Chains A and B, each alone.
Chain A
Amino acid sequence: MFKKATTSAHKRLLVGLISLLSSKTYAAWGDMNMTEGVTAISQEVFGLHMLIFWICVVIGLIVFSIMFYSMFAYTKKRNPNPSKFHENSKLELAWTIVPFFILVFMAIPASNTLTKIYDDTEGDINIQVVGYQWKWQYKYLEDDIDFFQNLTTDWDEIYNKTPKGEHYLEEVDEAVVIPVGKKVRFLITANDVIHSWWMPDFAIKQDAIPGFINTAWTVVDEPGTYRGKCTELCGKNHGFMPVVVKVVPEDEYHTWVKEKKDAALRMAELTTKDWSASELVQRGEAIYEKNCVACHQSNGQGISGIFPALAGSDIALNNKPRHIEILMEGVQGAAMASYANQLSEVDLAAVITYTRQAWGNSEKGDGQIVVPKDIVDYKL
């Protein structure tokens, strides 16, 4: 009932404050303030942030100026005889009630914005987001598109061996592509530990929790590439799992969908092709570098006590069935996840073959290779 009257007053105030702050005088604030973002919601959130900020600044200025005035005016030198007063019911009542109303004034627009954010009706496009240690998986539910998003920043850049690029730690192999002007709903969950999917420009931060599906939605009108991060400590490489979303015009989006589907078809053909050991090893090395080195290390030695070595491991040498099983099922109670849904049959075969051949494993063990058909058979 009171909603209508107050929201319009608030809106005017918010708009006023936003325009004050986004005017050119404050442009230098750039990297010191929250992003305004590119959605109606993110701009509303920014407005709320600035509104509360300025209220705090004003209250702070009043309180601190009385305090600093007292500190200068009532030193022992200037005021050797202190006053005796030590209570005043009216004053105390006033500074209990007045702040309460200031809080109500803040709570109304905040509650309104929150209610809007919680509009969880169906989206035009629904994308399932799954957090893994330490990458994201995206499944486009309507179009049957499914891919992973990995950090592409080179470890040499991270370890200061080569200069850092412009998008250091904020670049990935494959961006999430969404069209402008459509309501996109994200269904967010996780496969191992808790992660959190944050895209500051959309004002979306939603925890990805195993066993739960959280929702968030956005409508973006401005094409562009937007960068975010995982914001829940999820283990060793928590700092190295960025999020990148590319917003494109609608026709470009449809072209992209078609390309993804064609690529899936080509992958199906690869599964049935005859593979040689060297082809598999070559493909497998790249897969290994992307998915396995974080724990098992590029020399296959793992990390003593946490991540087992693959070089010289009995399973990698002589136990092909168990080797496949570990990749497909993961290891219960350990950090090793199942890769059955993360990698294609071809890539699974390639990476298993690679670890059975690399680091001298092929000489020490039975040297058996795994072909995509083995994986298909396992799945049956």
Chain B
Amino acid sequence: MSAVIESHGHDDHHHGPAKGLTRWLYTTNHKDIGSLYLWFSFAMFLIGGAMAMVIRAELFQPGMQIVEPEFYNQMLTLHGLIMVFGAVMPAFVGLANWLVPMMVGAPDMALPRMNNLSFWILPFAFFILLSSLFMEGGAPNFGWTFYAPLSTTYAPPSVTFFIFSVHIMGASSIMGSINVVVTIMNMRAPGMSLMKMPLFVWSWLITAYLLIAVMPVLAGAVTMMLMDIHFGTSFFNAAGGGDPVLFQHIFWFFGHPEVYIMILPAFGIASHIIETFSRKQLFGYSSMVWAMASIAILSFVVWAHHMFTVGLPLAAELFFMWATMLIAVPTGVKVFNWVTTMFKGSITYETPMLFAIAFVVLFTIGGFSGLMLAITPADFQYHDTYFVVAHFHYVLVPGSIFSIMAAVYYWIPKWTGNMYDERLGKLHFWLSFTGVNVTFFPQHWIGLAGMPRRVPDYALQFADWNMISSVGAFLFGASQILFLFIVLKTVMGGKKATSKVWEGARGLEWTVESPAPYHTFSTPPKIN
């Protein structure tokens, strides 16, 4: 630890960034890399969002209107892959880059050059993935879960590029996670014991361990696909003695921890914001940590609840049902803690708080539908219908994505030194909130009524709610242009922010001036 501090400890306190493009290409500065991640993620959010608009436009009415079924399948596949690996995950890594060093009182991430590498391979991964749209046979069209043999024997030739792209994304995530773990374990300011760490740091420590554990599993799955496609193996090919269900076990052993990777940092963010704007210390800090750790551990033993219909034996179905239901306990603890933090607080409703409250309410609704999905016999009816689509969009859009937006509004004064436009921020919130609910709430109903997911066309009884859902989606999509505008406006100017920014803010990042200097905490602060 001392070596790291010394290397930054000469006299470069006021040494600013390099000029021009090379600043961004060669940067090893955690704040620059954080910004790169966040902008990259926003670009991917818009591209993945545009694909969602194509999907919703096609589903606006029954019948095929805008695209062909082949292209529709490519859109839904790329939408899922881009949103998961391109938008949500990089956004959280960006936030970790910006915030973890400042929150633990470290001068930078522990491995700054690897940090640069882990970001700069990402654009190539997505360039490769998106370029498959222009290849003969089209882009991957087998869903973001890429079940074999649809993704092997029956896949378009571009699947090989998809596999390479997933490998690069995995390498990036693993490097990013190692960096986070090493930073948190070794570079905390003196006196900051683990149980004094801010919750966002805790949430990322747990997330990073999950990523290190499961990204190699994903890499293994796609490598086995590659072998099946090009080297004559039969891992997933029943005709060659392989097992298509094996693919699903491997995929979901990665996939279930993966969905918690996309929500744990959101828990951290919500905890900070609710505490700040309630002007009251977070209720139940240690149970929050305990709950996140339990959720992470449970995430490794629930994967087969995605596979209740593949024909597992009764004992397995019962085990995975019970284990999955158990997750409701720590998740409930978190929600109760947030509500109790607000109870007898002194609350104001700035934009970050609005997003955080909406996060708690709507994530809880997603949690309820998750509990319903855990009930195996009922899952036989819900599985692979729009009910599932509604469920995971409730936990991902007003869950993960609202938390990311809340984080941007909350910390952007620290990043840029300027306050965002509160009036526009609130407008953005209300448009997004309305859009998200109009889009996804009716999907519960059409799912229950029997509409399968991943279909380009549907029977007539689903027409009305699909149209309403599409209208909501267009509203939500358009509102994000406003978000871009608000962020750009804040970067360019605005009311100057103080160091503390928010009256109720707690934590080391609020002790440095706004905007945060290029190098912070070259000398570690003391924690009491």
Contact = CB atoms under 8 A, between A and B. Distances in A.
Interface of A: 30-35, 41, 44-45, 48-49, 52-53, 56, 59-60, 63-64, 66-67, 70-71, 74-76, 79-88, 91-92, 95-96, 99-100, 103, 106-107, 110-111, 113-115, 117-118, 133, 157-160, 164, 166-170, 192-194, 196, 198, 200, 203-207, 209-212, 214-215, 228-240, 303-306, 333, 335
B343 A74 contact: yes
Contacts of B450: 35, 200, 228-229
A215 B453 CA distance: 23
Contact of B458 (A33, A169, A228): A169
B65 interface: yes
A232 B314 CA distance: 21
A168 B459 contact: yes
Contacts of B339: 63, 66-67, 70
A233 B149 CA distance: 11
A114 B329 contact: no
A141 to B, nearest CB: 19
A160 B65 contact: yes
Interface in B347-401: 347-349, 357, 360-361, 364-365, 368, 371-372, 375-378, 380-381, 383-385
Given A71-B342, A74-B345, 7 more contacts: A49-B375, A103-B329, A118-B314, A118-B317, A159-B63, A205-B309, A230-B452
B285 A81 contact: no
Contacts of B493: none
Nearest to B444: A32
Contacts of B280: 82-84, 86
A366 to B, nearest CB: 31
B322 interface: yes
Contact of A158 (B64, B154, B314, B448): B64
Pairs A-B, 10 closest by C-beta atoms: A211-B238, A239-B455, A305-B136, A214-B311, A32-B445, A83-B344, A56-B368, A82-B346, A231-B384, A82-B280
Contacts of A111: 318, 321
A33 B381 CA distance: 11
A370 to B, nearest CB: 27
A210 B239 contact: yes
A84 B310 CA distance: 52
B133 to A, nearest CB: 13
A32 B149 contact: no
B309 A114 contact: no
Interface stretch (B160-168, B172-180, B210-218, B330-338): B330-338
Contacts of B62: 164, 168-169
A74 B332 contact: no
A100 B329 contact: yes
21 contacts: A48-B375, A48-B378, A56-B368, A60-B368, A75-B347, A75-B348, A76-B347, A84-B280, A86-B284, A115-B314, A160-B63, A164-B62, A212-B244, A214-B311, A231-B452, A232-B147, A233-B454, A236-B141, A239-B452, A239-B454, A239-B455
B525 interface: no
Contact of B361 (A67, A166, A206): A67
Interface residues of B, number: 96
B515 interface: no
Contact of A207 (B286, B309, B349, B365): B309
A41 B378 CA distance: 11
A32 B449 contact: yes
A306 B377 CA distance: 39
Contact of B149 (A59, A193, A205): A193
B150 A169 contact: no
B345 A159 contact: no
B357 A70 contact: no
Contacts of A99: 328-329, 332
B456 interface: yes
A231 B154 contact: no
A354 to B, nearest CB: 25
Contacts of B347: 70-71, 74-76, 79
A374 to B, nearest CB: 26
Contacts of A196: 309, 383-384
Nearest to B149: A193
Given A87-B285, A95-B336, A99-B328, A194 B345 contact: no
B278 A164 contact: no
A79 B459 contact: no
B92 interface: no
A31 B463 CA distance: 11
Q: Among the interface residues B141, B309, B317, B344, which one has the most CB atoms of the partner chain A within 10 A?
A: B309
Interface in B381-431: 381, 383-385
B377 A113 contact: yes
B112 interface: no
A243 to B, nearest CB: 11
Contacts of A92: 284, 287, 333
Interface in B60-114: 62-65, 69-70, 73
B281 interface: yes
A34 B380 contact: no
A196 B396 CA distance: 26
B297 to A, nearest CB: 15
Contacts of A110: 321, 375-378
Contacts of A232: 147, 384
A83 B345 CA distance: 6
Contacts of A87: 283-287
A63 B150 contact: no
A30 B64 CA distance: 26
B276 to A, nearest CB: 12
Nearest to A116: B377
A33 B378 CA distance: 12
A88 B310 CA distance: 44
Contacts of B287: 87, 92, 96
Contact of B376 (A114, A193, A303): A114
B502 to A, nearest CB: 12
B281 A84 contact: yes
A198 B371 contact: no
B69 A237 contact: yes
Contact of A193 (B70, B154, B242): B154
A17 to B, nearest CB: 14
A83 B344 CA distance: 6
Contact of B244 (A76, A79, A211, A233): A211
B245 interface: yes
A52 B371 contact: yes
Interface in B132-166: 136-138, 141-143, 147, 149-150, 153-154, 156-157
Nearest to A80: B346
B250 interface: no
Contacts of B457: 158, 169, 239-240
A160 B280 CA distance: 59
A87 B280 CA distance: 12
A194 B309 contact: no
